[in-house]
Structure 1
Amino acid sequence: MGDNTSFQDLFKKSVLHLEAFRNISYIDIIIGLIVSFLAGLFIYYVYSKTFRGVVYSYNYNVTFVLMTMITTLIIMTISTNIVLSLGMVGALSIVRYRTAVKDPLDTVYMFWAVSAGIATGAKLYPVTIIGSLAVGLALFWLSRRKVRGQPYLLVIRHNESATEDVRTFLRKMNYQLKSKTVRKDFTELTLEMRLRDDNTAFVNELSALNGVLDVALINYSGDYAQ
Structure 2
Amino acid sequence: METTNFTDIFKSSILEKTSSFSIIDSSIGLVVSFLIGLFIYWVYKKTFSGVIYSHSFNISLIIMSMATALIIMGISSNVLLSLGMVGALSIVRFRTPIKDPMDLVYLFWAIIAGILCGAGFIPLVLIGSVAIGIVLLLFINKIRVEDPYLLVIKYSDSSIEHSLEHFIAGHAKKHTVKSKSVVAGDDYEATYEIRVKDNNLSFIHEISDMEGVKSAIMLSYDGNFTA
When normalised by structure 1's length, the TM-score is 0.69
Which residue matches 2:176? 176
Q: Are the aligned partners of 1:179 and 1:190 in contact in 2 as well (CA < 8 Å)?
A: yes
For 1:175, what is the secondary structure of its paired residue? Answer: strand
Output the amino acid matched with 1:206: I
Q: Are the aligned partners of 2:100 and 2:223 in contact in 1 as well (CA < 8 Å)?
A: no
- Structure 1 residues 170-224: Cα deviation after superposition (integer angstroms, max 9, x where no partner): 241332233265779986542112358xx432x22432664675532233x5444
Which residue matches 2:74? 77
* Matches of 1:105 and 1:187, distance apart in 2: 37
Output the amino acid matched with 1:204: S
Unmatched runs of 5 consecutive residues or more in structure 1: 1-15
Which residue matches 2:34? 37
Q: Are the aligned partners of 1:159 and 1:185 in contact in 2 as well (CA < 8 Å)?
A: yes
Change (3 A) 1:90 1:190: closer
* Matches of 2:136 and 2:196, distance apart in 1: 22
Unmatched runs of 5 consecutive residues or more in structure 2: 1-14
Identity of aligned residues (%): 44
Total equivalences in the alignment: 203
Which residue matches 2:20? 22
Output the amino acid matched with 1:24: S
Q: Are the aligned partners of 1:22 and 1:81 in contact in 2 as well (CA < 8 Å)?
A: no
1:168 positional shift:
5.9
When normalised by structure 2's length, the TM-score is 0.69
Output the amino acid matched with 2:191: T
Q: Are the aligned partners of 2:99 and 2:223 in contact in 1 as well (CA < 8 Å)?
A: no
Which residue matches 1:191? 192
For 2:148, what is the secondary structure of its paired residue? Answer: strand
Q: Are the aligned partners of 2:180 and 2:188 in contact in 1 as well (CA < 8 Å)?
A: no
1:28 positional shift:
3.5
- Structure 1 residues 128-181: Cα deviation after superposition (integer angstroms, max 9, x where no partner): 211101111222333344523x33311245788xx6986664241332233265
Among 150, 153, 158, the alignment partner of 2:150 is 153
Which residue matches 2:199? 200
Q: Are the aligned partners of 1:218 and 1:225 in contact in 2 as well (CA < 8 Å)?
A: yes
Root mean square deviation, CA, Å: 3.6
